[in-house]
Structure 1
């Protein structure tokens, strides 16, 4: 990535939520945002391999990775618990891990963008499953060794891992760690 692209991305991430007279003259990138009604129609390019349905706008002035790389949070549950615990209890474990992962990284620029007022109603999460405790611990170790920030939720007072959730990331950064896992059904 060249310096100009890097500076552009940082400016977009750090741009204020509300435009002011001092704001940068860099267009804000909003995932899933609709163009203003007075804007000229732009050609539409569908996003392949995305969990989202909305298409990204094609704009030659915006680096490709900014329009096609959705921000996503991965949540991984244990199949053995899904089969034996009440559904609500398993969902609660996933919620604990998700909130913990986001709160622990609340000052991270990607997390701020993921939770921004413009994006809060269009968050992307992918919920996957592993067989049991050894697999979730193994996944946590792989993520840790790859530098992927996440929360392995340890249920108390039982003191055993029930699920994990990543902090929000661009999908291209983390998807390889999860490609062999099944969607949770």
Structure 2
């Protein structure tokens, strides 16, 4: 498929690097946001198609520097009618992650293309 359906997840890097959250906690944030977006947009045709081929789902986790940047991209997505879920972790009331519903890659590249793949260095 030349323009595959992809679910983009934008995850704050400062949670790990500056605020001391564990990798497990970060993974949980991405899972919460992804699950919520898939549930919220479950009747969308792209979402249905994406979920009908579970063994070939494409997810891309991108790094976003901080809460302000995360809220800014969520606002831009909303202004452009790009369906997404901004995950607010409770009870801390902290925005941690944004997950888009599945979209053809080319359709949302201009909104997420400037962000890098989420990477962390592991100290063995």
Which residue of the partner structure matches residue 60 of structure 2?
126
Q: Which has the higher contact order (CA 8 A, sep 6+)?
A: 2
Which residue of the partner structure matches residue 142 of structure 1?
76
Indicate whether 1:109 and 2:45 are aligned: yes
The runs of 5 or more residues in structure 1 that have no matched partner are 1-66
Indicate whether 1:162 and 2:79 are aligned: no
The runs of 5 or more residues in structure 2 that have no matched partner are 120-124
Q: Give the TM-score normalised by the residue count of structure 1.
A: 0.62
Structure 1 segment 10-21 matched on structure 2, within 5 A? none
Which structure has more helix as a fraction of its residues?
A: 2
Please list every run of at least 4 consecutive aligned residues from structure 1 whose deviation after the TM superposition is greater than 3 angstroms. Answer: none
CA RMSD of superposed structures (Å): 0.7
1:137-169 deviation per Cα after TM superposition (whole angstroms, max 9, x unaligned): 000001001110000000111111011100001
Larger radius of gyration: 1
Q: Output the CA distance in 2 between the equivalents of 1:86 and 1:176.
A: 31
Which structure has more strand as a fraction of its residues?
A: 2
Which residue of the partner structure matches residue 151 of structure 1?
85
Deviation, 1:82, is: 2.2
